[in-house]
Amino acid sequence: MKLPIVALCGRPNVGKSTLFNRLTRSRAALVHDLPGMTRDRSYGRVTCLDEAGEAEEVFQLVDTGGLDFGGDDIITRGITRIAEGAMEEAHVLLLMVDAHDGWNPVDAEIAARIRAKGKPAILVVNKIDGVRGGSPDGAFYELGFDEIHVLSASHGDGVPELLAAIRARLPFHRTPEEAEAHDPAEELRFAVIGRPNVGKSSLVNKLLGYERSLVSDVAGTTRDTVDTVFQAEDRIYRLIDTAGIRRKGKTTEGAEKLSILKAKQAMARADVSLLLVDAVEGITHQDAVIAGYAHEAGAAVIIVVNKWDLVAKDTYTSLAMEDRIRQDLGFLQHAPMIFLSAMTGQRVTKLFPLIHDVAEAHARRVPTGRLNAFLRDAVAAFSPPAVDGKLPKLYFMTQVGTRPPSFVVITNTDRELHFSYLRYLENRLREQFGYRGTPIRIACRRRG
Ligand code: GDP
Ligand code: GDP
Protein backbone atom coordinates (compact mmCIF):
# COMPACT_ATOMS: atom_id res chain seq x y z
CA MET A 1 0.00 0.00 0.00
CA LYS A 2 1.16 3.49 -0.80
CA LEU A 3 1.88 5.37 2.39
CA PRO A 4 2.03 9.11 2.87
CA ILE A 5 5.53 10.54 3.15
CA VAL A 6 6.97 12.65 5.94
CA ALA A 7 10.32 14.35 5.31
CA LEU A 8 12.68 15.12 8.15
CA CYS A 9 14.75 18.21 7.32
CA GLY A 10 17.40 20.09 9.21
CA ARG A 11 21.05 20.97 9.14
CA PRO A 12 23.58 18.23 9.92
CA ASN A 13 24.00 16.95 13.47
CA VAL A 14 20.72 18.19 14.93
CA GLY A 15 19.60 14.61 15.61
CA LYS A 16 17.62 13.58 12.54
CA SER A 17 19.03 10.07 12.36
CA THR A 18 18.43 9.60 16.06
CA LEU A 19 14.75 10.47 15.66
CA PHE A 20 14.54 8.45 12.47
CA ASN A 21 15.85 5.38 14.24
CA ARG A 22 13.54 5.86 17.18
CA LEU A 23 10.45 6.22 14.98
CA THR A 24 11.30 3.43 12.57
CA ARG A 25 12.95 1.28 15.24
CA SER A 26 15.65 0.58 12.74
CA ARG A 27 19.32 1.09 12.28
CA ALA A 28 18.76 2.06 8.67
CA ALA A 29 20.35 5.45 9.02
CA LEU A 30 23.79 5.62 10.49
CA VAL A 31 24.33 7.97 13.41
CA HIS A 32 27.58 9.83 13.26
CA ASP A 33 29.06 12.57 15.32
CA LEU A 34 30.55 14.20 12.25
CA PRO A 35 28.40 16.69 10.36
CA GLY A 36 27.21 15.61 6.94
CA MET A 37 27.88 11.93 7.37
CA THR A 38 24.35 10.73 6.71
CA ARG A 39 24.59 11.41 3.05
CA ASP A 40 21.79 9.69 1.25
CA ARG A 41 18.08 9.71 1.80
CA SER A 42 16.94 6.90 4.03
CA TYR A 43 13.39 5.67 4.02
CA GLY A 44 11.74 3.86 6.88
CA ARG A 45 8.20 2.82 7.64
CA VAL A 46 6.66 4.02 10.86
CA THR A 47 4.29 1.65 12.60
CA CYS A 48 1.62 2.57 15.14
CA LEU A 49 -1.06 0.57 16.86
CA ASP A 50 -4.53 0.90 15.39
CA GLU A 51 -7.77 0.92 17.41
CA ALA A 52 -7.82 -2.86 17.61
CA GLY A 53 -4.27 -2.88 18.96
CA GLU A 54 -2.81 -4.24 15.73
CA ALA A 55 0.38 -2.83 14.32
CA GLU A 56 -0.35 -0.69 11.29
CA GLU A 57 2.11 1.10 9.03
CA VAL A 58 1.02 4.72 8.91
CA PHE A 59 3.65 6.66 7.01
CA GLN A 60 7.07 6.59 5.44
CA LEU A 61 9.71 8.74 7.03
CA VAL A 62 12.49 10.16 4.89
CA ASP A 63 15.66 11.40 6.49
CA THR A 64 16.82 14.08 4.08
CA GLY A 65 20.36 13.63 5.26
CA GLY A 66 21.09 17.19 6.26
CA LEU A 67 20.65 20.45 4.44
CA ASP A 68 23.61 22.71 4.63
CA PHE A 69 23.78 25.73 2.40
CA GLY A 70 27.16 26.73 3.73
CA GLY A 71 29.38 24.91 1.27
CA ASP A 72 29.26 25.16 -2.48
CA ASP A 73 31.14 21.97 -3.28
CA ILE A 74 29.64 19.26 -5.43
CA ILE A 75 28.75 17.02 -2.52
CA THR A 76 26.90 19.73 -0.59
CA ARG A 77 24.99 20.76 -3.68
CA GLY A 78 24.12 17.14 -4.37
CA ILE A 79 22.80 16.62 -0.86
CA THR A 80 20.73 19.77 -1.09
CA ARG A 81 19.24 18.63 -4.37
CA ILE A 82 18.32 15.26 -2.89
CA ALA A 83 16.74 16.93 0.13
CA GLU A 84 14.76 19.27 -2.12
CA GLY A 85 13.44 16.23 -3.96
CA ALA A 86 12.35 14.64 -0.70
CA MET A 87 10.58 17.83 0.35
CA GLU A 88 8.82 17.95 -2.99
CA GLU A 89 7.38 14.45 -2.71
CA ALA A 90 6.51 14.61 1.00
CA HIS A 91 3.06 15.31 2.44
CA VAL A 92 4.25 16.63 5.79
CA LEU A 93 7.56 18.40 6.47
CA LEU A 94 9.47 18.40 9.72
CA LEU A 95 12.21 20.89 10.44
CA MET A 96 14.50 19.76 13.22
CA VAL A 97 16.61 22.29 15.11
CA ASP A 98 19.09 21.84 17.94
CA ALA A 99 18.04 23.35 21.28
CA HIS A 100 21.48 22.75 22.72
CA ASP A 101 23.24 24.75 20.00
CA GLY A 102 20.44 27.33 19.77
CA TRP A 103 19.26 29.23 16.72
CA ASN A 104 21.36 29.00 13.58
CA PRO A 105 20.95 31.01 10.36
CA VAL A 106 20.79 27.78 8.34
CA ASP A 107 17.62 26.88 10.29
CA ALA A 108 15.97 30.05 8.99
CA GLU A 109 17.07 29.26 5.46
CA ILE A 110 15.60 25.77 5.59
CA ALA A 111 12.43 27.14 7.24
CA ALA A 112 11.95 29.47 4.27
CA ARG A 113 12.32 26.59 1.83
CA ILE A 114 9.81 24.56 3.80
CA ARG A 115 7.31 27.41 3.86
CA ALA A 116 7.63 27.80 0.11
CA LYS A 117 6.35 24.25 -0.32
CA GLY A 118 3.01 25.25 1.25
CA LYS A 119 2.62 21.90 2.99
CA PRO A 120 1.75 21.05 6.59
CA ALA A 121 4.94 21.61 8.57
CA ILE A 122 6.06 21.02 12.14
CA LEU A 123 9.07 22.47 13.92
CA VAL A 124 10.89 19.90 16.05
CA VAL A 125 13.15 21.39 18.70
CA ASN A 126 15.50 18.56 19.65
CA LYS A 127 18.04 17.91 22.44
CA ILE A 128 15.96 19.64 25.08
CA ASP A 129 17.63 17.34 27.61
CA GLY A 130 20.83 19.26 27.01
CA VAL A 131 19.32 22.65 27.79
CA ARG A 132 19.56 24.05 31.27
CA GLY A 133 16.12 25.16 32.48
CA GLY A 134 14.54 23.10 29.71
CA SER A 135 13.31 26.05 27.74
CA PRO A 136 14.50 26.52 24.15
CA ASP A 137 15.83 29.60 22.42
CA GLY A 138 12.95 32.03 21.79
CA ALA A 139 14.28 32.70 18.28
CA PHE A 140 12.98 29.28 17.23
CA TYR A 141 9.45 30.58 17.72
CA GLU A 142 10.07 33.17 15.05
CA LEU A 143 10.78 30.65 12.31
CA GLY A 144 7.12 30.89 11.26
CA PHE A 145 5.75 27.51 12.30
CA ASP A 146 2.25 27.10 13.70
CA GLU A 147 3.12 23.84 15.35
CA ILE A 148 6.19 23.35 17.52
CA HIS A 149 7.28 20.24 19.42
CA VAL A 150 10.08 20.27 21.93
CA LEU A 151 11.63 16.89 22.56
CA SER A 152 14.63 14.71 23.07
CA ALA A 153 15.18 12.22 20.27
CA SER A 154 17.80 10.28 22.16
CA HIS A 155 15.86 10.04 25.45
CA GLY A 156 12.42 9.79 23.85
CA ASP A 157 10.66 12.57 25.80
CA GLY A 158 8.06 14.30 23.65
CA VAL A 159 8.35 11.79 20.80
CA PRO A 160 4.86 10.23 21.23
CA GLU A 161 3.29 13.71 21.12
CA LEU A 162 5.17 14.49 17.92
CA LEU A 163 4.00 11.23 16.40
CA ALA A 164 0.38 12.08 17.21
CA ALA A 165 0.79 15.52 15.64
CA ILE A 166 2.26 14.04 12.47
CA ARG A 167 -0.59 11.55 12.20
CA ALA A 168 -3.16 14.32 12.53
CA ARG A 169 -1.63 16.01 9.52
CA LEU A 170 -1.32 13.05 7.21
CA PRO A 171 -3.41 13.38 4.09
CA PHE A 172 -5.13 10.06 4.20
CA HIS A 173 -6.18 7.91 7.06
CA ARG A 174 -8.28 5.74 4.80
CA THR A 175 -7.00 3.20 2.34
CA PRO A 176 -7.48 4.16 -1.32
CA GLU A 177 -10.16 1.45 -1.56
CA GLU A 178 -12.09 2.93 1.35
CA ALA A 179 -11.82 6.37 -0.15
CA GLU A 180 -12.99 5.18 -3.53
CA ALA A 181 -16.07 3.67 -1.93
CA HIS A 182 -17.00 6.79 0.02
CA ASP A 183 -20.56 8.05 0.27
CA PRO A 184 -20.97 11.12 -1.99
CA ALA A 185 -23.06 12.72 0.77
CA GLU A 186 -19.92 13.12 2.88
CA GLU A 187 -18.11 15.06 0.17
CA LEU A 188 -17.36 18.66 0.87
CA ARG A 189 -17.84 20.40 -2.45
CA PHE A 190 -15.95 23.60 -3.13
CA ALA A 191 -15.61 25.72 -6.24
CA VAL A 192 -12.72 27.90 -7.32
CA ILE A 193 -14.16 30.94 -9.09
CA GLY A 194 -12.96 34.31 -10.32
CA ARG A 195 -12.24 36.26 -13.44
CA PRO A 196 -9.50 35.17 -15.87
CA ASN A 197 -5.90 35.44 -14.65
CA VAL A 198 -6.53 35.74 -10.93
CA GLY A 199 -4.76 32.41 -10.45
CA LYS A 200 -7.49 29.76 -10.39
CA SER A 201 -5.48 27.13 -12.26
CA SER A 202 -2.42 27.85 -10.17
CA LEU A 203 -4.36 27.40 -6.95
CA VAL A 204 -5.98 24.21 -8.15
CA ASN A 205 -2.61 22.81 -9.16
CA LYS A 206 -1.12 23.70 -5.81
CA LEU A 207 -3.98 22.12 -3.90
CA LEU A 208 -3.84 18.96 -5.94
CA GLY A 209 -0.08 18.84 -6.19
CA TYR A 210 0.20 18.93 -2.46
CA GLU A 211 -2.53 16.35 -1.97
CA ARG A 212 -1.24 13.42 -3.96
CA SER A 213 -4.04 11.31 -2.62
CA LEU A 214 -6.27 11.67 -5.63
CA VAL A 215 -9.24 9.41 -5.70
CA SER A 216 -10.42 10.03 -9.21
CA ASP A 217 -11.17 12.57 -11.86
CA VAL A 218 -14.82 12.60 -12.76
CA ALA A 219 -16.58 14.54 -15.44
CA GLY A 220 -18.52 17.53 -14.19
CA THR A 221 -22.05 18.33 -15.20
CA THR A 222 -20.97 20.32 -18.20
CA ARG A 223 -18.61 19.04 -20.79
CA ASP A 224 -15.79 21.41 -20.01
CA THR A 225 -15.70 21.29 -16.23
CA VAL A 226 -13.85 18.55 -14.48
CA ASP A 227 -14.48 17.74 -10.86
CA THR A 228 -11.67 16.28 -8.86
CA VAL A 229 -12.39 14.18 -5.82
CA PHE A 230 -9.55 13.93 -3.33
CA GLN A 231 -8.97 13.48 0.35
CA ALA A 232 -7.09 15.70 2.72
CA GLU A 233 -6.77 14.73 6.34
CA ASP A 234 -9.93 12.78 7.01
CA ARG A 235 -12.27 14.55 4.63
CA ILE A 236 -13.26 13.89 1.05
CA TYR A 237 -13.39 16.99 -1.09
CA ARG A 238 -14.89 17.55 -4.48
CA LEU A 239 -13.18 20.38 -6.25
CA ILE A 240 -15.28 22.09 -8.87
CA ASP A 241 -12.81 23.74 -11.15
CA THR A 242 -13.82 26.59 -13.43
CA ALA A 243 -10.36 27.34 -14.75
CA GLY A 244 -9.15 26.51 -18.19
CA ILE A 245 -11.87 28.54 -19.83
CA ARG A 246 -9.55 31.04 -21.38
CA ARG A 247 -8.93 28.70 -24.26
CA LYS A 248 -12.63 28.69 -25.06
CA GLY A 249 -13.30 32.42 -24.95
CA LYS A 250 -11.45 33.85 -27.92
CA THR A 251 -11.71 37.46 -26.87
CA THR A 252 -10.97 38.89 -23.45
CA GLU A 253 -14.56 39.97 -23.17
CA GLY A 254 -15.76 36.50 -24.12
CA ALA A 255 -13.52 34.93 -21.51
CA GLU A 256 -14.82 37.28 -18.84
CA LYS A 257 -18.46 36.58 -19.68
CA LEU A 258 -17.72 32.90 -19.66
CA SER A 259 -16.02 33.15 -16.28
CA ILE A 260 -19.16 34.69 -14.82
CA LEU A 261 -21.37 32.00 -16.29
CA LYS A 262 -19.04 29.30 -15.01
CA ALA A 263 -18.93 30.86 -11.61
CA LYS A 264 -22.73 30.82 -11.42
CA GLN A 265 -22.92 27.16 -12.41
CA ALA A 266 -20.17 26.16 -10.03
CA MET A 267 -21.62 28.09 -7.09
CA ALA A 268 -24.94 26.36 -7.56
CA ARG A 269 -23.28 22.98 -7.02
CA ALA A 270 -20.76 23.90 -4.35
CA ASP A 271 -21.03 23.99 -0.57
CA VAL A 272 -18.39 26.71 -0.48
CA SER A 273 -17.00 28.96 -3.21
CA LEU A 274 -13.51 30.36 -3.14
CA LEU A 275 -13.70 33.72 -4.85
CA LEU A 276 -10.21 34.52 -6.04
CA VAL A 277 -9.15 38.12 -6.42
CA ASP A 278 -5.82 39.60 -7.44
CA ALA A 279 -3.87 41.33 -4.65
CA VAL A 280 -2.05 43.55 -7.12
CA GLU A 281 -4.89 44.59 -9.38
CA GLY A 282 -7.45 44.87 -6.61
CA ILE A 283 -11.18 44.51 -7.11
CA THR A 284 -12.47 45.04 -10.63
CA HIS A 285 -15.99 45.34 -11.95
CA GLN A 286 -15.92 41.65 -12.92
CA ASP A 287 -15.08 40.62 -9.37
CA ALA A 288 -17.94 42.69 -8.03
CA VAL A 289 -20.36 41.15 -10.53
CA ILE A 290 -19.39 37.63 -9.45
CA ALA A 291 -19.65 38.63 -5.78
CA GLY A 292 -23.15 39.98 -6.46
CA TYR A 293 -24.24 36.69 -7.99
CA ALA A 294 -22.80 34.80 -5.02
CA HIS A 295 -24.91 36.92 -2.72
CA GLU A 296 -28.06 36.42 -4.82
CA ALA A 297 -27.52 32.68 -4.97
CA GLY A 298 -27.08 32.48 -1.20
CA ALA A 299 -23.68 30.91 -1.71
CA ALA A 300 -21.12 30.54 1.05
CA VAL A 301 -17.97 32.40 0.05
CA ILE A 302 -14.36 32.72 1.10
CA ILE A 303 -12.51 35.66 -0.42
CA VAL A 304 -9.08 34.47 -1.47
CA VAL A 305 -6.66 37.32 -2.08
CA ASN A 306 -4.10 35.68 -4.33
CA LYS A 307 -0.60 36.75 -5.49
CA TRP A 308 0.18 37.98 -2.01
CA ASP A 309 3.86 37.32 -2.78
CA LEU A 310 3.81 40.28 -5.19
CA VAL A 311 2.62 42.80 -2.62
CA ALA A 312 5.21 44.94 -0.88
CA LYS A 313 4.18 44.34 2.70
CA ASP A 314 5.56 47.65 3.97
CA THR A 315 3.15 49.70 1.89
CA TYR A 316 0.03 47.54 2.18
CA THR A 317 -0.75 45.79 5.35
CA SER A 318 -3.28 43.02 5.01
CA LEU A 319 -5.67 45.00 7.23
CA ALA A 320 -5.64 48.03 4.96
CA MET A 321 -6.18 45.81 1.95
CA GLU A 322 -8.95 43.90 3.69
CA ASP A 323 -10.79 47.18 4.36
CA ARG A 324 -10.56 48.24 0.76
CA ILE A 325 -11.67 44.90 -0.61
CA ARG A 326 -14.64 44.79 1.75
CA GLN A 327 -15.67 48.24 0.59
CA ASP A 328 -15.53 47.17 -3.03
CA LEU A 329 -17.30 43.85 -2.48
CA GLY A 330 -20.12 45.32 -0.42
CA PHE A 331 -22.27 42.19 -0.30
CA LEU A 332 -19.67 39.90 1.15
CA GLN A 333 -19.08 41.47 4.57
CA HIS A 334 -19.52 38.09 6.23
CA ALA A 335 -16.99 36.28 4.03
CA PRO A 336 -13.68 35.39 5.65
CA MET A 337 -10.68 36.67 3.76
CA ILE A 338 -7.37 34.87 3.33
CA PHE A 339 -4.19 36.27 1.79
CA LEU A 340 -2.13 33.66 0.03
CA SER A 341 0.09 32.86 -2.88
CA ALA A 342 -0.93 30.08 -5.21
CA MET A 343 2.54 30.33 -6.70
CA THR A 344 4.71 29.93 -3.59
CA GLY A 345 2.07 27.97 -1.70
CA GLN A 346 2.12 30.36 1.23
CA ARG A 347 -0.95 29.72 3.45
CA VAL A 348 -2.60 27.49 0.84
CA THR A 349 -3.17 24.66 3.33
CA LYS A 350 -4.94 27.10 5.65
CA LEU A 351 -7.82 26.93 3.19
CA PHE A 352 -8.95 23.51 4.39
CA PRO A 353 -10.02 24.44 7.94
CA LEU A 354 -11.60 27.60 6.57
CA ILE A 355 -13.65 25.66 4.01
CA HIS A 356 -14.83 23.45 6.86
CA ASP A 357 -15.95 26.30 9.09
CA VAL A 358 -17.82 28.01 6.31
CA ALA A 359 -19.52 24.84 5.05
CA GLU A 360 -20.60 24.07 8.61
CA ALA A 361 -22.11 27.55 9.07
CA HIS A 362 -23.90 27.33 5.73
CA ALA A 363 -25.61 24.06 6.70
CA ARG A 364 -26.18 24.77 10.40
CA ARG A 365 -29.60 24.34 11.97
CA VAL A 366 -30.52 26.13 15.19
CA PRO A 367 -33.41 24.66 17.20
CA THR A 368 -36.53 26.81 17.54
CA GLY A 369 -36.18 26.92 21.34
CA ARG A 370 -32.83 28.66 21.07
CA LEU A 371 -34.10 31.00 18.38
CA ASN A 372 -37.02 32.08 20.53
CA ALA A 373 -34.73 32.83 23.45
CA PHE A 374 -32.57 34.76 20.98
CA LEU A 375 -35.57 36.74 19.67
CA ARG A 376 -36.77 37.58 23.18
CA ASP A 377 -33.36 38.97 24.11
CA ALA A 378 -32.98 40.84 20.83
CA VAL A 379 -36.37 42.55 21.18
CA ALA A 380 -35.74 43.34 24.83
CA ALA A 381 -32.47 45.05 23.92
CA PHE A 382 -33.94 47.00 21.02
CA SER A 383 -37.60 46.83 20.03
CA PRO A 384 -38.73 47.11 16.41
CA PRO A 385 -39.71 50.58 15.20
CA ALA A 386 -43.33 51.33 14.29
CA VAL A 387 -44.51 50.45 10.80
CA ASP A 388 -47.33 52.73 9.58
CA GLY A 389 -47.84 54.00 13.08
CA LYS A 390 -48.23 50.51 14.56
CA LEU A 391 -45.69 48.81 16.77
CA PRO A 392 -45.06 45.35 15.37
CA LYS A 393 -45.10 42.40 17.75
CA LEU A 394 -42.63 39.60 17.12
CA TYR A 395 -44.07 36.33 18.43
CA PHE A 396 -41.49 33.74 17.58
CA MET A 397 -38.76 32.73 15.20
CA THR A 398 -37.95 29.51 13.45
CA GLN A 399 -35.39 28.25 10.94
CA VAL A 400 -37.02 27.17 7.70
CA GLY A 401 -33.99 26.26 5.65
CA THR A 402 -30.24 25.83 5.37
CA ARG A 403 -27.68 26.64 2.68
CA PRO A 404 -28.09 29.50 3.35
CA PRO A 405 -29.61 29.55 6.83
CA SER A 406 -33.13 31.00 6.42
CA PHE A 407 -35.40 32.18 9.22
CA VAL A 408 -38.97 33.30 9.57
CA VAL A 409 -40.18 35.69 12.26
CA ILE A 410 -43.90 35.42 13.02
CA THR A 411 -45.45 38.85 13.58
CA ASN A 412 -48.84 40.55 13.95
CA THR A 413 -48.58 42.49 10.71
CA ASP A 414 -48.56 41.95 6.98
CA ARG A 415 -45.91 44.58 6.54
CA GLU A 416 -42.23 43.80 6.38
CA LEU A 417 -40.12 44.90 9.30
CA HIS A 418 -37.95 47.90 8.59
CA PHE A 419 -34.80 46.76 6.80
CA SER A 420 -32.63 48.29 9.49
CA TYR A 421 -34.35 46.06 12.05
CA LEU A 422 -33.78 43.01 9.89
CA ARG A 423 -30.14 44.03 9.64
CA TYR A 424 -30.07 44.33 13.43
CA LEU A 425 -31.46 40.80 13.83
CA GLU A 426 -28.96 39.47 11.32
CA ASN A 427 -26.03 41.06 13.13
CA ARG A 428 -27.18 39.66 16.44
CA LEU A 429 -27.62 36.21 14.92
CA ARG A 430 -24.09 36.42 13.62
CA GLU A 431 -22.77 37.57 16.98
CA GLN A 432 -24.46 34.77 18.79
CA PHE A 433 -24.15 31.88 16.35
CA GLY A 434 -21.17 32.96 14.22
CA TYR A 435 -22.26 32.47 10.62
CA ARG A 436 -18.90 32.89 8.95
CA GLY A 437 -18.98 33.12 5.19
CA THR A 438 -22.66 32.51 4.66
CA PRO A 439 -25.51 34.89 3.89
CA ILE A 440 -28.52 34.74 6.22
CA ARG A 441 -32.11 35.25 5.16
CA ILE A 442 -34.81 36.54 7.46
CA ALA A 443 -38.43 36.88 6.38
CA CYS A 444 -41.55 37.91 8.30
CA ARG A 445 -44.92 36.28 8.29
CA ARG A 446 -48.19 37.30 9.91
CA ARG A 447 -49.55 34.87 12.41
CA GLY A 448 -52.41 33.10 10.63
P1 GDP B 1 21.83 14.15 12.10
O2 GDP B 1 23.12 14.52 11.48
O3 GDP B 1 20.87 15.30 12.11
O4 GDP B 1 21.22 12.91 11.56
O5 GDP B 1 22.12 13.93 13.68
P6 GDP B 1 22.39 12.56 14.47
O7 GDP B 1 21.11 11.84 14.73
O8 GDP B 1 23.49 11.84 13.80
O9 GDP B 1 22.84 13.17 15.87
C10 GDP B 1 23.96 14.02 16.01
C11 GDP B 1 24.44 13.95 17.44
O12 GDP B 1 23.46 14.48 18.33
C13 GDP B 1 24.72 12.53 17.90
O14 GDP B 1 25.87 12.57 18.73
C15 GDP B 1 23.50 12.19 18.73
O16 GDP B 1 23.78 11.25 19.72
C17 GDP B 1 23.15 13.53 19.35
N18 GDP B 1 21.73 13.64 19.69
C19 GDP B 1 20.66 13.33 18.93
N20 GDP B 1 19.50 13.56 19.59
C21 GDP B 1 19.85 14.01 20.82
C22 GDP B 1 19.07 14.42 21.97
O23 GDP B 1 17.85 14.40 22.01
N24 GDP B 1 19.78 14.86 23.04
C25 GDP B 1 21.15 14.90 23.04
N26 GDP B 1 21.73 15.33 24.14
N27 GDP B 1 21.89 14.52 21.99
C28 GDP B 1 21.26 14.07 20.88
P1 GDP C 1 -6.62 31.65 -14.07
O2 GDP C 1 -6.88 32.23 -15.39
O3 GDP C 1 -7.48 32.29 -13.01
O4 GDP C 1 -6.69 30.16 -14.02
O5 GDP C 1 -5.12 32.09 -13.66
P6 GDP C 1 -3.73 31.30 -13.78
O7 GDP C 1 -3.63 30.29 -12.68
O8 GDP C 1 -3.57 30.81 -15.17
O9 GDP C 1 -2.72 32.47 -13.45
C10 GDP C 1 -2.59 33.63 -14.25
C11 GDP C 1 -1.18 34.17 -14.12
O12 GDP C 1 -0.92 34.60 -12.78
C13 GDP C 1 -0.12 33.13 -14.43
O14 GDP C 1 0.92 33.78 -15.12
C15 GDP C 1 0.34 32.66 -13.06
O16 GDP C 1 1.66 32.21 -13.07
C17 GDP C 1 0.20 33.93 -12.25
N18 GDP C 1 -0.05 33.62 -10.83
C19 GDP C 1 -1.04 32.85 -10.32
N20 GDP C 1 -0.98 32.81 -8.97
C21 GDP C 1 0.06 33.59 -8.61
C22 GDP C 1 0.66 33.96 -7.35
O23 GDP C 1 0.23 33.58 -6.26
N24 GDP C 1 1.73 34.80 -7.39
C25 GDP C 1 2.25 35.25 -8.58
N26 GDP C 1 3.30 36.05 -8.51
N27 GDP C 1 1.73 34.91 -9.77
C28 GDP C 1 0.65 34.10 -9.79
How large is the angle between the packed helices 16-24 and 159-169, nearest 10 degrees?
80
Instruction: Please report, for residues 233, 241, 441, the alpha-carbon distance to residue 213 in angstroms, rounded to integers and kept in the order given.
Output: 10, 17, 38
- The ipTM estimated for the assembled molecules is 0.60
Asked if 31 contacts 63 with a C-beta cutoff of 8 angstroms, the reply is: no
Residue type for position 258: L
Give dist(CA 206, CA 204) in Å, integer. 5
Q: Which residue has the higher pLDDT, 101 or 211?
A: 101
Is the peptide bond prior to 404 cis by the omega test (within 30 degrees of 0)? Answer: yes
| Residue 63 in marked binding region | yes
- 99 Cα–ligand 1 center, Å: 11
Ligand 2, CB within 6 Å, residue ranges:
194, 196-202, 243, 246, 306-307, 309-310, 341-343
**pLDDT greater than 60 at residue 164:** yes
- pLDDT tens-place string over residues 227-271: 788 777 667 888 887 764 444 445 667 777 777 888 888 898 899
Protein residue with its CA nearest to atom 24 in ligand 2: 307
- Residue 47: closest CA among 36, 29, 61, 65: 61
Task: Specify whether the backbone of 219 is left (phi greater than 0), alpha (psi in -120 to 50) or beta.
Answer: beta
Torsion of CA 201, 207, 208, 213, to 10 degrees: -170
Name the pLDDT band for 173 (thresholds 50, 70, 90).
low
Q: Determine the pLDDT at residue 243.
A: 63
Ligand closest to CA 244: 2
Q: What percent of the chain has pLDDT over 90?
A: 44
- pLDDT tens-place string over residues 349-371: 789 889 999 999 999 999 999 99
Average pLDDT over residues 300-319: 86
Per-chain mean pLDDT for the chain: 83
Protein residue with its CA nearest to atom 7 in ligand 2: 199
- pLDDT tens-place string over residues 106-121: 899 899 989 888 888 9
Name the pLDDT band for 97 (thresholds 50, 70, 90).
very high
Ligand closest to CA 126: 1
Average pLDDT over residues 123-148: 90
Q: Which residues is 192 bridged to in the sheet? A: 241, 274
Q: Determine the pLDDT at residue 41.
A: 53
Ligand 2 pocket: which of 343, 346, 348 to mutate (most atoms <8 Å of CB)? 343
| Rg (the chain; Cα; Å) | 26
The SS3 call for residue 361 is helix
DSSP string for 43-63: EEEEEEE-TTS-EEEEEEEEE
Q: Determine the pLDDT at residue 215.
A: 41
Ligand 1, CB within 6 Å, residue ranges:
10, 12-18, 31-33, 38, 66, 126-127, 129-130, 152-155
- pLDDT tens-place string over residues 56-88: 778 889 988 766 655 666 556 666 777 777 888
Single pTM value for the model: 0.64
- pLDDT tens-place string over residues 386-426: 877 888 899 999 999 999 999 999 998 877 888 899 999 99
Q: Which residue has the higher pLDDT, 98 or 241?
A: 98
Shortest-distance atom of ligand 2 to CA 341: 23
